Chain A
Amino acid sequence: MATVMKNADGAAVGTAVSKTGRPVLVATDVSSGYGSGRVLQGVSFHVSAGEIVALIGRNGVGKTTLLRTVMALNRLDDGEISLFGLPLPKATHAVSEAGIAYVPQGRDIFSEFTVRENLLMGAHASKKKEIPAILERILTYFPALRSHLNRCGGVLSGGQQQQLAIGRALMTTPRLLLLDEPTEGIQPNIVSQIAEILDRIRAEMKLPIIIVEQNLKFAMRHADRFLCMQKGRIVVQGKIDELTDAIIGKYLKV
């Protein structure tokens, strides 16, 4: 059953660790923001091994800020975030080295680099002799990229760029993947392709994923659990089949 957590003041807070598996990422009482303004206010959640967690909520509730805080792109004002029991580093590059990959909203591919260069940039820390095998494995997930390897990333379509961004993130051989609105602005047939790729990644790599998604249908098809945010807090969370119309109506409908 979906859980609405409240503190002593009646404000909703995160829930305890679920029993689905060993926690990969644990965030406890995380507060963060921009400048002097606080966006996240005491957010607690966890992600277990092999699960896909959908982070949902209306625009501006702090979903992207939460992912950015995990990546240390936003400062952590309060609270703790740990990966496999170890505190996350404070520098973004070190968070990546620790095993978290991030695909931001808007993809942020390197438009002057070729598709190959974009992908290889993800593997820059890998051993040279391992890189061809990593690249080959990623291209099996994204066959559409194979024929564009020598094209500039900037001239790809939105859907191809999204695939490139996910592929590049996977090139880092992560232990946790953060996806921010992967279906935003993508035509439906490409969304289906991305959905199939996520299914394969999930089945073959057992990679835990946090996915920020406005496309509820997409989120409900792929996620195991959901975290619903409102005003910088997680107000409801539960298994994805517990995401009822009542919750959607209350927290997601504009």
Chain B
Amino acid sequence: MAILPIQLMNGLFAASVLLLVSIGMVVIFGNMNVVNLAHGEFIMAGAYTAWGLCELGLPFSLSVIGAFALTAILGALCERLVIKRFYARLEETLLATYAISVIMTQIARLLFSSMKKLVPLPVSGGLSIGSLVFPAYNFVVIAVAVFVVLFVCVLFYKTGLGKKIRAIRQNRQMAQCLGINTAVTDTISFGLGCGLAGLAGAIIAPLKIVYPAMGSAYLMDSFSTVVVGGVDSFVGTAMASGLISESTSVLGGFMSEIYAQIIVLIGIILVLRFRPNGLFSKEKR
């Protein structure tokens, strides 16, 4: 059973990555009911921004902030120019966000070619827990994931802006009738969701290879995590990230990773069959 602590720790790390790449989708899908098919491309844009800023000599921490800011602005622009025309029209938003994803991938190809970029690990070495040693950067990723969840929870549940976003989610027209400028709030929400995707891209950049199509790998993972957790629940998404990643990791210690993933995916399908609103969504009256 010596393998179990390692698998649990690896699962926690994988859960943190999954949570980071999913949290922006909760903001956009959960609050605006827009399935952003360009979510992965904002992760890619964040990774490229981090790479670019690191190349310019900026410290990694500033590169992450830069990636958040740039992708947030990019997302806000996309919302203003494209998305806002298609709210409450599922097919159109799917098509529009797919178009944005293709355009962003092609622009990345034009700007950076298909050459793969590497972002150096900002923290090297390892940290030991008992007799086990884990890469130090894994702990940075876990800490950032915890910070991001706390940040969005505070933002959405304790600030005026967050309450306005939640009010709009519950009843857009009534929010307008109370004087809330929903157009501005929508732009901020979409920008925030994209910014969080960009931040995730920057954080995972040192762990992966940065290339134009890297984002597509995260789209389905984040979508399934958000749906399992409950589309409007940050805590639910955190729990779902943990559940999915720990299950995959622990099962992967005892069998082929492919079988582990198949079992977890079957579990996800069963969850959606019996809890279509997600495992952690509240019952509404």
A→B interface (CB under 8 Å) = 71, 73, 91-93, 96-97, 101-102, 104, 108-113, 117, 120-122, 124-125, 154-155, 168, 172
Contacts and interface: CB of A to CB of B under 8 A. Distances in A.
Contacts, number: 67
Contacts of A109: 174
Contacts of A101: 177
Contacts of B174: 104, 108-110
A113 B160 CA distance: 13
A125 B178 CA distance: 9
Interface string B141-175: 00000000000000000001001101100110111
A168 B285 contact: no
Nearest to B169: A112
Contact of A122 (B164, B178, B181, B182): B178
A172 B170 contact: no
Contact of A111 (B175, B176, B178, B285): B285
B179 A124 contact: yes
B87 to A, nearest CB: 15
B285 A121 contact: no
A97 B176 CA distance: 10
B284 interface: yes
A129 to B, nearest CB: 15
Nearest to A112: B170
A211 B170 CA distance: 25
Nearest to B232: A112
Contact of A121 (B178, B282, B284): B178
Nearest to B174: A108
Given A154-B284, A155-B285, A112 B177 contact: no
Contacts of B282: 112
B179 A112 contact: no
Contact of B177 (A71, A117, A154): A71
Nearest to B171: A108
Contacts of A168: 178
A101 B174 CA distance: 10
Contacts of B163: 113, 117, 120-121, 124
B206 to A, nearest CB: 39
Contacts of A108: 171, 173-174
B172 to A, nearest CB: 10
B170 A93 contact: no
